[in-house]
Structure 1
Amino acid sequence: MLSTLRFESKDVTRVEETWKQFVPSAILQNVDPRRFRFEWLSAELEDMTVVEYELAAEVRSVVEPEDQLLVCRVQSDRVDLGSGHVGIDAGHPWLTDGRQVWGRWEDDAKVRALIFDRTTAQTLARRMSGNDAYRVRVKGLAPTDQGAAEQWERSFAYLGASFAHAGAEDELILAGLRRHALWVTLTSFDTGFREALEGAVQLRPATTTVRRAIDYIDENAHRAITIDDIAGAVHMSTRGLQYAFRRSLDTTPAEQLRRARLDGAHRELLHGRATTVGQVARRWGFAHPSRFAAAYRAAYGVAPSDTLRRGKGD
């Protein structure tokens, strides 16, 4: 279930109450009521939260997450970040799985964060890597390099926009966003995830495995499944399944799932069960109506709106 919260406030008490739900040790100091402001946006699932806020105040905060992974980026003209006596580059996002991180700033700041439930993240990471022995361990607070930092920033912007427009009923879309958020976080930082991926490729006879995977896709395309679920259903790593699909069909499991969902949307439009094309697109996991329309036209040679009208007998 998706829960979103958006508000603006100059009420210090309300701001602290909201903020402390995510950063319990944060303290607002020397608040100037003439310039104090707070703009908050969060999207919360059962096991993951996306947070973005802007705050104009003097701040002292300490985070030490329990049973969570927290990745955060603080943008401010004057900000100091560190863990113990070691400073953190404020120009990059940082990740902690329990190590204490402190922050201080005295001016306007924009903060972006992803918060994952550690147990759920661990389970999903093992499914994504195909390595049941993999344990999420943050070996360094900083991204692996500049490119990784930039990739995380771009992905956060995409996630923020996507969650802002998603509805609580968009289970297929939300499952994909959750997977993307964890994948980009684990690959942007030194977590051992890349090594787990490299060691998990399984090469087994592909034909039977691929056929079973396609059957699973066809039976479950209407559910919030990902390629990791497909791989798990046929007892294979995600990378191994991707290799098998490439070798057997010259395609990918993700493309096969996308096509199955496109077929499901086609059937729904053709049988006149839908009210609008947009509703059908979202129900089948397509977050962007224009992209859905382009993919639909490429697959069926007509616009989805034409199929809908035909289905309704117009």
Structure 2
Amino acid sequence: MSIEFDSTSLAATEEFLNRNYTTMRIGNDTSGPVRSTVVRERLGDVNLDRLDLGFDMSYDAEPLGRICLCEVETGWVEENYHDAGTDYFGSGEIAVLTPPDLPYSGVIHTARYRITMFDPADLTRVAEVEAGIPVELTGHRPVSVAAGRRLAATLAHLRQLVGDYNGQVPPLVAATATQFLAATVLDTFPNTASAELTATDRADAHPAALRRALAYMEGRVHDDIAVGDIAAAAYISVRALQLAFRRHLGTTPMAHLARLRLQGAHEQLTDGKGATVSAIATDWGFGHPGRFAALYRRHYGRSPAATLGDRPDPPDTAG
């Protein structure tokens, strides 16, 4: 369900922000009139917001409790960071707007910008860390220009998904996209997840553990599972799981899960039974038909439409 807000009232804008973000006080740092527009779309538990503020809005807010990514389209944003002072973001820049567990303040300087918010626990689900150890971002700017561009492309892909499904993204597609977002964020910003393999990790990356992991994945291929869930089922650490897959299969757990889902889609396409390519792709967690078709062709050497259309004629039952 989407949310739309359009107002020329500072009080109404503050009430909306309090209701949909967190408790905050805002002010108008200019002498001009207030104009604020907000549109929110949802991808599972991820909020994809576009804000257009026609005035300089100062804010002093309580913690969001969410990872908050900010992409500036026009204007500029001034954010006060507890550990890094004040930073400024202009057109074309992307950053973490605020740590999830700290109050925040700053000024939005007559800007049009996008905010993407998601649960910090999603970072831990996709990271190579032990269960119960939360992953935290340790910097608010991308580690490189290229990393920032990759994140921007990922966010554009998420917005396209919402549009492709008219706002009704199937749960497995939304869950897969959320994991992709979290993994991209970890690749984009400094964080606490990087660590070296231990001797125990190396010893645990044996075939028996791999078999337990594979059995778990094959039994839950339609479920929203992450690397931490697979490691727990195999009774090993996440890093040992990653090593086992690299050592014995030459891949990663999540890449193998995607391959299992692609195989399931292939079997359903081969069987047919009146389904469309788009419906089958969605059923197996592939949200973008074009990307699904390209992946399918790379693995099977033909398009999914060709497989679906190449069904044998029914047997002749005439006596």
Give me the TM-score of the superposition, normalised by structure 2: 0.77
Check if 1:68 corresponds to 2:69.
no
Find the aligned partners of 2:15 and 2:43 in 1 and give their Cα distance.
17
The alpha-carbon deviation at position 56 of structure 1 amounts to 2.0
Give the C-alpha shift of residue 281 in structure 1: 0.7
Please give the secondary structure, in 1, of the residue aligned with 2:259: helix
Please say if 1:171 is aligned against 2:161: no
TM-score by length of structure 1 reads 0.78
Cα offset, 1:173, TM superposition: 2.0
On the 8 A contact 2:60/2:106 being kept in 1, the answer is yes
Q: 1:281 to 1:54 in 2, by over 3 A?
A: same
Question: In 2, Cα distance between the equivalents of 1:312 and 1:293?
Answer: 22
1-structure distance, mates of 2:200, 2:163 = 36
**Deviation per residue, 1:213-256 (Å, 9 max, x gap):** 22222222122223443233212334432321222122332332
Q: Establish whether residue 286 from structure 1 lines up as the match of residue 283 from structure 2.
A: no
Task: Report what 1:5 is aligned to.
Answer: 2
Alignment of 1:1-314 (within 5 A): 4-5=1-2, 7=4, 9-10=6-7, 12=9, 16-20=14-18, 21-27=20-26, 29=28, 32=33, 36=35, 38-43=37-42, 45-46=44-45, 48-83=46-81, 86-91=85-90, 92-94=94-96, 95-107=98-110, 109-118=111-120, 120-121=121-122, 125=124, 128-132=127-131, 134-144=133-143, 148-166=147-165, 168=168, 170-195=170-195, 202-203=201-202, 204-311=204-311, 313=313
1:79–1:285 CA distance, 2 compared to 1 (3 A):
closer
AA in 1 matched with 2:290:
S
Identity of aligned residues (%): 26
Q: Which runs of 5+ in 1 are unaligned?
A: none
1:115-174 CA-partner distances (Å, limit 9, x unpaired): 3345x44xx516632323523445454455655545444433333333443564522221
Residues 290, 71 of structure 1: CA spacing in aligned structure 2 closer, same or farther, 3 A cutoff?
Answer: closer
Contact 1:141 1:189 in 2 (8 A): yes
CA distance in 2, matches of 1:170, 1:304: 20
Deviating 4+ runs (over 6 angstroms):
none
**Alpha carbon RMSD of aligned pairs, Å?**
3.4
Extract unaligned runs of 5+ from structure 2: 315-319
